[in-house]
Structures are given as C-alpha cells and as structure tokens.
Amino acid sequence: MHRHAPASAVLVLLGLLASSASARAGGDAAEKVSAGGSLAWVFSRDLDLLGDLRADLPFAVAGGRSVYLSVDALTAIEKATSSFTFTVREVDSTLEAGLRSPLPSGRVISVFAGRRGKERVDAASDPFVTYVGAGVESPGFRGASWSRPLEWHVEASVVAARRDVEATALAQGDVRWLHRARGLAVGADAKVDVLAARGTGFTADVAAGPRIDFELPGGRRVAFFARYLRSRQPLGVQVTSLTAGFDYAEGPFAGPAPRPTPPDVGGSVAAGTGGGRSAGRLEILVLSPPFLGLCRAVLDVDANVLTGRDTDELYYLYDLGVERETRGRVLGIYAYHRSNHQLAHPNDTITSLNVIEAGLESPGYGRAVPLAAGSRLGILDYRARAGAVVQSTGTASRRWNARGGVRWSLPREGWRAVPFLRLEAEDGHVSRRAAAAGAALPVGVAIAAEWRRDDQYFGRAKSAWLLTASRSF
C-alpha cells in the first residue's frame, strides 16, 4: 500500500517545534494563519463539483521571517446523486514546508520543499512528485482584505523525485485584481499551473474569470466567482469547462484586538503513524455571522486518510447546520454526512450515511486548548448529537444514529502544556470508537496517543493505534 503520511508527520512535527519557539517568544501565530475553502460547480460531463480545503500555518522566527506549513486538498466529484451520495474521482493534494522572508519593498520571498500528488479514489492510480523551489509574492497576497487592488504570486521548483508521472520542473502564477465599491469589491483572478517534462514539453492548467467579494470583520471574506478552467497537466483534474462557485477565506489579522468571532474560519491539520499505519487529517470549520439574535450557520468539513496493509482509507465527515450559543452551551440542528472510499485501489462500493440530528455541546469542545480556565480538578468539555437516518448505502436496520464525546483537560494555569484525555463514540446505524491521551500547547499544537475503531473501514483491520501531531487554527 501507499504510505506517504509519515512525511506529513515529519513536517507537522517541524511546525510543532517552530510553534513552540514562537510561543516562548510571545508571538501570536494563530492570528497569522490563512485558511479557507471553496466549492465550484463544473459544467462538464466528466465532473460535477470541485471542493477545495486549504490552510497555511506560519510560525514566527525572527526579523519578520517565518517557517510555514501549508496543506491544500482538492476533491474532484464525478457525480452528486439525488440520494446525497457522492462519487469522488480523485483527491489532488499539496503538502509544503518552507521559509518566508519579507523584502524592504514589502514583497515576500520564499524557499520551500513539498510533495504534490493525485490519489485516485476507488481506482488504482497515485502519481506524485516531490520538489524544492522558490517564490515571490506581493505583500497582501495571503490576506483576505482589500488593502491593495492588485495581488500576485509566482514560484518555480525543480522535481526531486516522482512516481507514475513525467516531470522535471513546476511553475505557478496567481494574480487577483479587485476594485472596491460600496462595501464590496469586483474584479477578476487568474491562475496558471505549468508542468515541464523531458520529451513531452510543457503542459498547463489555466483558470480565469470574474469575481465579486464581500469583506467580513476580522480579515475574512466571501467571494462568488465564475471561471473558465482548462486543465491539461497530469497532476490536475484534466477537464475543460466553465465553473462557478463560492470561496470563504480568513487571512492574517493584525487588528488592535483579538479577531472577532463569529464569523470564523478554523480547523486543524494532523498527521500520525503507528503499527505499520499512517494517518492524515485536514478539517475546515466555518461559522457564519450571527443572525436572528444569537444564531449562526456552521459548516464543518473533516477529511481523513488512514493507510493499511491491504488498502488505504479515505473518509469524509460533513456537518451543516444552525446553532445557538447561550448560557455556556451550544444547541443546534445539523445535517450530518459521512462517506468512506478507498485510495488508489479499485472499489465498486461506496458507503454513505446521511442523518438529520440535534445536538448539545460545550463551546470549547473540538478546540486544542480549553476556552475556560476551569477548576482545580480540570475542565470537562462535551458533545452529544442524535437523530434519524434519512439515507444510507449500508445494510444496518437501525434508523437512528448517535455520536458524542467528552474531553477532560487539566487547568491551564501553571502548565506550559495542558494534558488531556478524549473519548468519542458513534453508534446506531454505524459503530465508531476513539480514545486519545496527550498534551496541548497554548498555540494550538497537540501530541497524542490515539486508538481508533470504525466498522466502516474497508480494510480487514478495523482499528489502529497512532501517535499523532496536530495544529489547530
């Protein structure tokens, strides 16, 4: 099988060390994070949807320089059926670590190393390249505000290793132009992604089109776009079509006070290894601005990879709902979807579950470090959700599903790292269990020993023991 996640774990651990140094220096790395996601409808017979999740995690070093870790995962969906089942064709991912340094002009240069690949879902194919390179960008390219009308980024890299793809070099260019007008901005963007190979020359992906942006408080924005996409290079989606969709992003924040919430874009990046298996995770959580008093919309997209001896697992957990926080509790109604696939392995079976559920939880559940200071005995965060199954590809007879968890953490005062214990369970239509024990730093970095068991895994081994490192933002 294909075990690329150990490299991810190494990069996350490097980020952990840099983040620890930043915390000791008093830096606030959390406000420098760029994160977001997009969903585009593709007007093509080959694809229906393109969903993108991305996070860029810089850690302050000195003199304005920063070590960074970035993750980008693009999911290409062939078909979205009427029964809420998604046929996923592939996941195109990029994992990169590097160093950025500002120039006197305000432009930012970078040097980096990374891995870029395409994992076919429920089919046999996983080409990838590893690379080293350099780039330069305008001062506000990673921001989500409109401080400058024109922002751009260019980079070039040399391929150091490859598999199942001919490639010697990569190059990318992005440009974004926006004109502010009465609380919004109109303009256009374009991106070119070039792959060079001996014998075949150059192939490229090109995407360009108009957009309209709405600025939100705290360095955030939502954009609606239409683009012409022409993808020809082997690590792209290889489709030519018009696309239209929306993008929600959060950029670095340099306000006089902590970033206001909501709206908010958060999540986590994680990697782990153990028992001959490896794991990777990218989660993006989006909270809308408040409406009808204290209500807010929530979208949580949680993508996971777990390798195995006989097959590699890819599974998604989606939550879309409306919730209200009051008196130290969060009440909500959610549409919950989960689907399981196999990576780079032929598979004719897609498992899918859709549940309408109600839930109750503490505001700090899911965060790396508790929100409350807690008592001398520690802080207890919790989540409980249950509801009716509205669609499933499984054979289980139960039409209900429930899930929840508890996390106990020691008080934050007097601890550089906060020890915690977490237990989670899901039962009813499916059965899932998880337990973790570890320690979290105030900057959102956590190291934990984890045990997982899930009856939806395709592999013969339904459980895994892992040592994981994660960075929440």
Whether pLDDT at 373 is above 70: no
What integer pLDDT is reported at residue 260 of this predicted model?
Answer: 58
Our CA angle for 240, 243, 248, nearest 5°, is 135
- Report residue 303 as tokens: 């993508």
- Of 28-32, 209-213, 248-252, 340-344, where does the model show the most confidence? 209-213
Contacts of 181 (CB under 8 A, 6+ apart): none
Contacts of 17 (CB under 8 A, 6+ apart): none
What integer pLDDT is reported at residue 469 of this predicted model?
Answer: 87
Cis peptide before 262 (omega within 30 of 0): yes
Range from 262-276, 307-321, 326-340, 434-448 carrying the lowest mean pLDDT: 262-276
Q: Under CATH, what is the fold of the domain 33-250? A: Outer membrane phospholipase (ompla); Chain C (2.40.230)
Our CA angle for 323, 72, 459, nearest 5°, is 85
Whether pLDDT at 227 is above 50: yes
Residue ranges of the chain that CATH labels 2.40.160.40: 264-472
Task: Give 142-175 pLDDT, tens digit per residue.
Answer: 887 777 899 999 999 999 999 989 999 999 999 9
Structure-token match 């390179």, residue found: 133
pLDDT band, very low/low/confident/very high, at 444 (cuts 50, 70, 90): confident
Q: CA 89 → CA 301, 344, 457, 463, 472, distances in Å? A: 18, 10, 19, 26, 28
- Out of 2.60.130.10, 2.40.160.40, 3.40.50.2000, 3.50.50.60, the CATH code matching 264-472 is 2.40.160.40
What integer pLDDT is reported at residue 21 of this predicted model?
Answer: 46
What integer pLDDT is reported at residue 247 of this predicted model?
Answer: 92
Residue ranges of the chain that CATH labels 2.40.230.10: 33-250
Whether pLDDT at 93 is above 80: yes
Range from 93-107, 310-324, 369-383 carrying the lowest mean pLDDT: 369-383
pTM of the predicted model over 0.85: no
* Of the candidates 357, 353, 325, 331, the residue with the CA atom closest to the CA atom of residue 340: 353
Q: Hey, which bits of 275-399 come out as E strands?
A: 277-287, 295-306, 312-326, 329-343, 351-361, 379-392
pLDDT band, very low/low/confident/very high, at 9 (cuts 50, 70, 90): very low
Whether pLDDT at 231 is above 50: yes
